[in-house]
Amino acid sequence: MQNVNEENSPYILFCAGEDSGDMIGAEMVSTAVQQGFKVVGLGGPLMQEKGLQPLWDYNELPVSGVGDVVPKYFSLKNVFEVLSDAAESKKCLGIVAIDYPGFNMKLARLAKKWGKPMLYVAPPQIWAWKSKRASLFKQAHNIRLAVFFDIEAQAYKQMGVETARIKHPIASWVYDQVEPRSDILLLPGSRRDSALRNLPSFVTVAERYRNVWADRNSGPLPDVIVVASREHLEVPLLVALESLYDGRLPSWLKVVVAPKLISERLNFYSSYSAALTSFGTSTLEMACVGIPFAACIVPDFLTYAMGKFMVKSEFLSLPNAIFGCGVTPEFIIRHKLNDRMTDAIVDALFQQDIGTADEIALRLRKALDVGKTSSELVSEFLAQFLKR
């Protein structure tokens, strides 16, 4: 890993600890490097390919929910100490933070204290919970916020905080016409602990889906493709699946690593007939490609208990939150998955109309195609350092 104290050259510090942030940050890192800036920090393979010099192993960063964070507290504490030292250094010209509020809100407090320039892309979703977090950005003239959704812009505006709109990378997707297949996708999540917690229930739903499909159709049964959002998750998912089937993985069940590039990933998704996905950016991706899907999660106890009292949004799936209505089905499995909920999820997948899904996809891509590109936004931020 890079040690910023060993060199004297100034740098821009980036912090993105999740796959969605890595996707967003890649173009921003590329733009910064092209303009002659050294870029260090936290980011995944896409950002590193564009020139980010990592300060820590990215695979240790993604976590989901309070119950998953607690066991990793001391490890994450060490990571943040390295990050905060890099941010405090006089060699750090400015900070670009992307999502990942557990780290980036702490960085924002430090940046406000130090008066260090900061661009925060995809700040906390205060429309969903803990709206008081917006108070940090009041009178913080050195921190600029950029959001993807109008619901976010309006929520911050109500709290007296101005934001800039940024186009979502999904909006620029160019559709490749492909012959749809009958197979179903399972996307249990990009964070290891939550993905492994979701997986058994997702597979149970997929088994029921295949049985219902057989009753309604002739021909071969659909395969079930479990998507590992990154290579680091492929083996844990395979091991977990094998344990579900006593070490004998059925031929119809496979694990595939998702394509890294957003355009390739969306084209990959669009070739399937249905999907069951966890909450997060994947719900946007599924809705934008226009295939029937349902969003589902098996939360840990602490996250569920806190969310029950703190989450104020009626919807957890991003497409539903953006449109303010239930355009796509979503489910929370609090206890063990029962037959009733399994049937409800499968029915939701079969009842969705392709024409309606296509209409939702067009509306969503239009809603995401607002504002400046990530390259334009980061260029504006970096301009202040070029003038020095």
DSSP secondary structure string for all residues of 210-266: HHHHHHH--SSPPPEEEEESSGGGHHHHHHHHHHHTTT---TTEEEEEPPSSHHHHH
pLDDT in tens, 357-382: 888 998 999 999 999 999 999 999 99
CA neighbor of 2 nearest in space, from 62, 76, 58:
58
Q: Is the model's pLDDT at 2 over the cut of 80? A: no
pLDDT in tens, 285-300: 999 998 899 999 988 7
Query: What's the pLDDT at 6?
Result: 55
Domains located in the chain, CATH noted? 4-167+370-386 (3.40.50.2000), 184-368 (3.40.50.2000)
Please report, rounded to a whole number, the percentage of residues in the chain having pLDDT higher than 90.
63
Instruction: Report d(CA 207, CA 227) in Å as an integer.
Output: 16
7-14: average pLDDT: 90
CA neighbor of 213 nearest in space, from 188, 237, 181:
181
pLDDT band at 346 (very low <50, low <70, confident <90, very high): very high
222-237: average pLDDT: 94
pLDDT in tens, 92-148: 999 999 999 988 999 999 999 999 999 999 999 887 777 888 999 998 899 999 999
